[in-house]
Amino acid sequence: MTAFEIRLHGRGGQGVVTAAELLSVAAFLDGHEAQAFPSFGSERMGAPVTSFCRISTTAIRTHEPVSRPHAVVIADATLLHHVDVFGGLRAPAFVLINSVRTAAELGLTDLVAQVGESQLRCVPATDLARKHVGRPLPNVCLLGALAALTGQVTRDSLATAVHERFPERVAAANVVALDAAYAHVRAGMAEATNA
Amino acid sequence: MREQLEGSRAIAETVGRCRVEVVPAYPITPQTHIVEAVGAMAKDGTLPGCEFVTVESEFAAMSAAIGASATGARTYTATASQGLLYMAEALFNAPGLGLPIVMTVANRAIGAPINIWNDHSDSMSQRDCGWIKVYAESNQVAADLHVLAFRLAETLNVPAMVCMDGFLLTHAFEPIDVPDASLVDRFLPHRRPQQQLDPDDPVTIGAMVGPEAFAEVRYLAHSQLRRAEEVHATLASEWTRLTGRDVAALAPYRIEGAETVVVALGSVTGTLQDVLDERDDGTGLLNLRLYRPFPNAAVRAALSGARRVIVVERAFAPGAGGVVSADVQTALAGTDVEVTTVVAGLGGRPVTTAALHGMLDAAAAGYLPPFDFLDLDRKLVERELAHLRGGAS
């Protein structure tokens, strides 16, 4: 009955609240029980924002924030030094970081050793979003990457959730970005396996 | 049909299916998404016959709701926190005038210091305003209770307040079966007002009553509000027959033979269910959905077999103690059940599984004081208290 618990960290305007909501909708479409909610601050651009998502095979009753995540998504690498983004991380756990740099370049060598190389991925989600959506909004990309990394939600349900949420043109562009991030993580995982 | 929806959206859709006719509202966090969605539906034609009135304040919202309800219209509004306080003067008039308004309170703390997060200080501060008050533990129960609230209110001509935890429920995406329109139509008939304001047939309502009859008027209002417990029970059974879902006044969990029973309202009861399953140590839970009228006899029956009752409250009475605890103590008068109060989750402080385990461990070991705050930073308050004492000398 333990749910798979995901914590998303970002800054106001990056869409991490929407990301948690979309993730919960996709998990629901996959036939799971799901819950998403934000850690509510006074909403303003640039302020640290946290959101949560639980995915389970049984009804989710708790309404406490996720304090022991199975997966952490970090939409803004500048938060690494300001917010305890890895607090309470389970073992094993997945870590997904929006960055063009590697984990080692981000100073996360110890974390890589802790969670394992195959469990931590850096994805250039902002660049992918800029390229495919035309705006530096990494949230949907990160969901594609998370689906590839954890297998907790399907790519198709994520695409459906994106289409239900946004106008057609915006949705279509975001799904292209989602697929690009999904492929990026898959390629990285294959590389890690072959290495 | 089950959908994955935001709580506020689910409530707005439910209220729409209740065929509301007038919705005067003023936005305030965390209620805003509800009234925005109702307003949008009223504008785009989803709610034919619904007039959404944008007003300049919560005082105006309740005043307009009173006027609309007095003409016989099914009337709804929603608020939270300071908004509810700003309504207070008009709030008491609605039951006095016998007007079955339904209002959502998206529970939030009260300032100062300013705080936008969840607790129950707002609705508890208006405990004695004469409205029926129910608390929901999930968005499903919140939606179901709104349908029930309209019928209950209109059956008795008493207004009803549906309280749901701000953010924790209003902003949470959860699976929910929004009661479908045909089901709501079957359960909730058109309003048949006992009397209504009509320019062609003028009457006065709410005229002055002097000392010779005021107590009697109040007694009658109290009696009418008390009847809501019985009517709620009948309607809840009917709702369960139609939907298979439980909206009873009390929701006991693992309570049979329980030595310790936790009493709580709202979304924390879901977290408590997880905690009790993990412990499996003979601790039970009584989820109090109907708070006013207070179901005295039923609470007594549910709790009198326990040795210890812990009331977990998201509000308190400064200078006195617990709010709900006082009701529970009244219900248990004459028994030797020990009642303790734990104030938890003030101003959005998360009520965690770990903290609740700690509370129950302390209770089992006999360390839980009669009045306690969950997760209090004791070092900080002791330092500040010493400072304050020093400053006073």
Q: What is the mean pLDDT of residues B150-158?
A: 98
Within a domain: B386: no
Interface touch A64/B353, C-beta < 8 Å: yes
Distance separating alpha carbons of residues B178 and B181, to the nearest angstrom = 9
* Domain total in chain A: 1
Last residue of a domain, one of B243, B276, B308: B243
> Which pLDDT does position B392 carry in this prediction?
58
> Which pLDDT does position B390 carry in this prediction?
86
Interface touch B173/A62, C-beta < 8 Å: no
Contact map slice: B 201-230 vs A, CB within 8 A: none
- The yes-or-no verdict on residue B111 having pLDDT over 90 is yes
> Which pLDDT does position A117 carry in this prediction?
85
CATH number for position B283: 3.40.50.920
For residues B268 and B194, membership in a common domain is answered with no
For residues B254 and B373, membership in a common domain is answered with yes
- The yes-or-no verdict on residue A1 having pLDDT over 60 is no
CA nearest B170 in A: which residue? Answer: A37
Last residue of a domain, one of B181, B212, B243: B243
User: What residues in A contact B81, CB-CB < 8 Å?
Assistant: none
Q: Which residues of A touch B (CB under 8 A)?
A: 1, 20-21, 24-25, 28-29, 33-38, 40, 42, 60-65, 67
Distance separating alpha carbons of residues B231 and B212, to the nearest angstrom = 31
**Number of residues that make up chain B:** 393
Within a domain: B391: no
Q: Which amino acid is at A1?
A: M
Interface touch A40/B167, C-beta < 8 Å: yes
Helix intervals (H) in chain A: 16-29, 109-115, 125-132, 139-150, 155-165, 168-194
DSSP state of A77: G
Burial class (CB in 10 A: 0-12, 13-18, 19+), B317: middle
**Phi and psi dihedrals of B79, rounded to 5?**
-160, -170
For residues B141 and B61, membership in a common domain is answered with yes
Q: What is the mean pLDDT of residues B72-86?
A: 98
Peptide bond into B100 cis (omega under 30): no
For residues B77 and B224, membership in a common domain is answered with yes
> What are the tens digits of pLDDT across the range A144-172?
999 999 999 999 999 999 999 999 999 99
Contact B109, B346 (CB under 8 A): yes
User: Taken in order B161, B164, B170, B175, is the CA torsion positive or negative?
Assistant: negative
Q: The pTM is what?
A: 0.96
- Name the 3-class secondary structure at A166: coil
For residue A43, name the pLDDT band (cuts at 50, 70, 90). Answer: low
> What are the tens digits of pLDDT across the range B8-56?
999 999 999 999 999 999 999 999 999 999 999 999 999 999 999 999 9
- Name the 3-class secondary structure at B291: strand
User: What residues in B contact A60, CB-CB < 8 Å?
Assistant: 174, 270
> What are the tens digits of pLDDT across the range B94-107?
999 999 999 999 99
* Full domain range(s) for residue A68: 4-194
- The yes-or-no verdict on residue B393 having pLDDT over 60 is no
Using the structure block, give the residue that is written with the tokens 């210890």: B308
Interface touch A37/B167, C-beta < 8 Å: yes
Residue B122: partners with Cβ closer than 8 Å, 6 or more residues away: B80, B81, B84, B85, B105, B107, B108, B109, B110
CA B49 to each of CA B36, B155, B231: distance values in angstroms, whole numbers, following the listed order: 17, 22, 28
For residue A81, name the pLDDT band (cuts at 50, 70, 90). Answer: confident
Last residue of a domain, one of B227, B243, B259: B243
For residues B254 and B318, membership in a common domain is answered with yes
* Helices A168-194 and A125-132: angle between axes, nearest 10 degrees: 140
Q: Which amino acid is at B40?
A: A
Within a domain: B393: no
Average pLDDT value over all residues in chain A: 94
CA nearest B6 in A: which residue? Answer: A21
> Which pLDDT does position A195 carry in this prediction?
64
For residues B135 and B223, membership in a common domain is answered with yes
> Which residue, B21, B96, B108, is CA-closest to B64?
B21
Within a domain: B389: no
Choice among A107-121, B111-125, B205-219, B339-353 with the minimum mean pLDDT: A107-121
> Which pLDDT does position B6 carry in this prediction?
98
> What are the tens digits of pLDDT across the range B304-320?
999 999 999 999 999 99
For residues B39 and B165, membership in a common domain is answered with yes
Residue B100 exposure: Cα atoms within 13 Å on the Cβ side: 26
Q: What is the mean pLDDT of residues B132-149?
A: 98
> Which residue, A5, A89, A2, is CA-closest to A52?
A5
Interface touch A62/B274, C-beta < 8 Å: yes
> Which residue, B124, B143, B179, is CA-closest to B326?
B124
* Full domain range(s) for residue B181: 2-243
CATH number for position A182: 3.40.920.10
